[in-house]
Amino acid sequence: MRNVASKLVSNKAALLGLAIIVIIILLCALAPLMTPYNPTKPDFSAQVQPPGGAHPFGTDKLGRDILARVLYGGRVSILIGLSGAVGGMLLGVIIGSLCGYFRGWLDAVFVKVAELVSIFPQILLVLVLVTILQQSMYNLIMIFIATGWVATFRMVRGRFFSLREESFVEACRVFGLGDLSIAFRHILPNCLGPVIVQLTLNTAGFILQEAALSFIGLGVPSGTPTWGNIMNAAKEIVSINQYPWVWLAPGLAIALFVLGVNFFGDGLRDALDPKQI
Amino acid sequence: MSENKDILLSIRNLKTHFHVRKRVIRAVDGVSLDVRAGKTLGLVGESGCGKSITAHTILRLLPKTARIKDGEIIFHSRKRQPVDLLKLQPSGKEMRGIRGNDISMIFQDPMSSLNPVYRIGDQIVESILEHENTTRAEAMERALEMLKRLSIPSAEKRIREYPHQFSGGMKQRVMIAMGLICNPELLIADEPTTALDVTIQAQILELMQELQRQLGFTIILITHNMGIVADVADDVAVMYMGKIMEFGSKEDVFLRPSHPYTRALLKSVPVLGNSGRDLLEPIRGSTPDPSDLPEGCSFAPRCDFAKPECGQAIPYVDVGNGHLVRCVLAEGREVRDGQ
């Protein structure tokens, strides 16, 4: 593990990515210290003010401070993106490892389930589930986990199929190790590279999907600021043309965070691969 | 085949069959063997004759399609009461305690027998931590000592390196270190040098013999290379289509081969410096379909001395000194060839 850390530190892109992630998360977590404004309270004396002065990022049509909205909204967006992706990864890794290692009926069942999930376009599935489960942040996370594990599951299961035939696995058995230890401690670390990449892709993807769903009004209820909801509020042509700061700030926040996650994920994958020095 | 005290492992009438789509493949079909403690038994035979399946049956690591039909494998360990390995649960606690600890195995392909994501030191101590109550630091100390014994240069540094930083021969040394780290009584070496080039082969074999002298473990060496057997084995078992055709001391088997198959095998080995007149004699025909073996001797269709009796049950005859031959030709020669 020491080696992984030192390899990460020497990778500039990964460090930059980590810095972006940490700074954005810190800013969002410490939002009350960063801005005196309430993100949901309208202030009709200060509608659509351009950036500068009391409102560094400007205000929206209801006079709410954009900086406050982006910071408080980031809490929700990042939480949804990260926990959806991490939850999906854990589920996919665990089921994929068990199916790939033990095969048999367990594998047959989960392959069918995974096929069932992936024959529907994901956005359609999300729409249906949102309609059934009601709009809420936690439901959205659940839905992302339920649809997001499939890619990781397939990848891990496939890698297990080839790795379980390697003689180091047989060697583990010969040395008296148990099945679970072989599966999770000896085979699984060999699959982590693509899993990490999938995690970063999913984190970015879920933040964007949340934005998209909120934009069409099916994501997080519009009362709660999220990066997607903020942009949703700026969807008329007037805002796009004349008040670019209303959508530019949350858009940049999404782009920056996703970029950071991708950089860091790439570096982490390289650091976990012992063949890359 | 008497119940000697110096027998470590005695296999009797072992039958491991595979059930594949309603066909039965008799991969191991009545193997009986005695492995002498502290000695090296060479188990030779061509590909697919059941050598590796025999080894995997000893360790009870068989694929799901395999069934052990009959037989017993008595393990006379110094540390415990004699135990029939076939009576233990394949993945039970007792069998897992024996694997790696009392009986260990090394493999043919050193390239894939080490886990690419772990440092070799961590992989060697894995076995110690599984079987013994020691700290990681102590286990590392022992791993380092073992690597030094296996003459790995600058072992202190290399113990922290990854498998891809090792050459084939060095990986096989690491593999041997893993196999021997818990001080097993029996080491099964399944073609340990086949994937290595000739000079490294000799080094590895010498190293194994040297360690055997120091530590006193027993080796079952599985190979198809008669030269290696002649070099390192004390006893030889010649296997063909799931049966032991001939078993005896190296001298008996090599100097007085009594089974036509052994003789044919020995004639088909190239010898350096042979003159043009001593042409190699290949064995005619090819191995029969393992799911449809002939009755009686399975070598009979390829044998130059086949007789009608070969189609019946073949006796396992002692032609002297525990030199056993499964052939009708050996019948009635019990002592003649012996001395």
Q: pLDDT for B243-284, tens place per residue?
A: 999 999 999 999 989 899 998 888 887 777 766 666 777 888
The confidence score (pLDDT) of residue A216 equals 76
Nearest to B61 among A173, A178, A275 (CB): A173
Q: Which residues of A touch B91 (CB under 8 A)?
A: 178-179
And the tokens for A87? 């939850």
Q: Which residues of A touch B108 (CB under 8 A)?
A: 167
Beta strands in B6-133 (DSSP E): 7-20, 23-36, 40-44, 66-75, 83-84, 103-106
- Residue B271 is inside which H or E element, if any? none
Q: Over its length of 277 residues, how does chain A's per-residue pLDDT go in tens digits?
A: 557 788 888 888 999 999 999 999 999 998 888 888 888 777 777 777 777 777 778 887 777 888 888 999 899 999 999 999 999 999 999 999 999 999 999 999 999 999 998 888 877 877 888 888 887 888 889 888 988 899 999 999 999 999 988 889 988 988 888 899 999 999 999 998 889 888 988 888 888 888 888 877 778 887 788 888 888 777 777 777 788 888 888 889 989 998 999 899 888 888 888 777 6
And the tokens for B47? 């590909």
The stretch B122-136 carries a mean pLDDT of 91
Instruction: Please say if the pLDDT value at position B4 is more than 50.
Output: yes
DSSP reduced 3-state for B93: helix
CA distance A200 to B136: 34
Q: Beta B7-20 vs B23-36: how paired, if at all?
A: antiparallel
Tell me which residues of chain B, numbers 74 to 113, contact chain A at a CB-CB cutoff of 8 Å.
Answer: 91, 96-101, 104-105, 107-109, 112-113
- Sort residue A135 into left (φ over 0), alpha (ψ -120 to 50) or beta: beta
For residue B294, the tally of other CB atoms under 10 A from its CB is: 14
Return the top range by mean pLDDT from A200-204, B183-187, B309-313, B314-318: B183-187
Query: Are the CB atoms for B18 and B291 separated by under 8 Å?
Result: no
Closest-CA distance, B289 to chain A, in angstroms, reads 25
Nearest to A174 among B104, B117, B164 (CB): B104
Instruction: Please say if the pLDDT value at position B338 is more than 60.
Output: no
Quick one: pLDDT band at residue B139, thresholds 50, 70, 90? very high
Quick one: pLDDT band at residue B334, thresholds 50, 70, 90? low
CA–CA–CA angle A208, A210, A211 (5° rounding): 60
Mean pLDDT of chain B: 87
Q: Please list, residue by residue across A241-267, b when 16 or more beta carbons sit within 10 angstroms of its beta carbon and e when fewer do.
A: eebebbbbbbbebbeebbebbbbbbbb
Closest-CA distance, A273 to chain B, in angstroms, reads 7
What pTM was computed for the model? 0.81
CA distance B126 to B112: 17
CA distance B265 to A255: 71
DSSP conformational letter for B54: H
Q: Which residues pair with B237 in a beta bridge?
A: B43, B247
The stretch B18-43 carries a mean pLDDT of 90
CB-based burial of residue A12 (10 Å sphere; 0-12 exposed, 13-18 middle, 19+ buried)?
exposed
Query: Are the CB atoms for B228 and B41 separated by under 8 Å?
Result: no
Closest-CA distance, A175 to chain B, in angstroms, reads 4
**Sheet with strand B7-20: strands edge to edge:** B23-36, B7-20, B66-75, B83-84
Contact A274 B164 (CB under 8 A): yes
The stretch B55-78 carries a mean pLDDT of 91
Instruction: Please say if the pLDDT value at position B2 is more than 60.
Output: no
DSSP reduced 3-state for B259: coil
Largest separation between any pair of C-alpha atoms in chain B: 66
Contact B107 A167 (CB under 8 A): yes
DSSP reduced 3-state for B33: strand
Q: Which residues of A touch B59 (CB under 8 A)?
A: 173-174
Contact A174 B99 (CB under 8 A): yes
3-state secondary structure chain A: CHHHHHHHHCCHHHHHHHHHHHHHHHHHHCHHHHCCCCCCCCCCCCCCCCCECCECCCECCCCCEHHHHHHHHHHHHHHHHHHHHHHHHHHHHHHHHHHHHHCHHHHHHHHHHHHHHHHCCHHHHHHHHHHHHCCCHHHHHHHHHHHHHHHHHHHHHHHHHHHCCCHHHHHHHHCCCCHHHHHHHHHHHHHHHHHHHHHHHHHHHHHHHHHHHHHCCCCCCCCCCCHHHHHHCCCCHHHHHHCHHHHHHHHHHHHHHHHHHHHHHHHHHHHHCCCCC
Q: Which residues of A touch B191 (CB under 8 A)?
A: none
Instruction: Please say if the pLDDT value at position B337 is more than 50.
Output: no
Q: Which residues of B touch A166 (CB under 8 A)?
A: 112-113
Q: Which residues pair with B17 in a beta bridge?
A: B67
The confidence score (pLDDT) of residue B186 equals 95
Query: Are the CB atoms for B152 and B22 separated by under 8 Å?
Result: no
The confidence score (pLDDT) of residue B6 equals 86
The confidence score (pLDDT) of residue B275 equals 67
CA distance A263 to A274: 19
The confidence score (pLDDT) of residue A59 equals 81
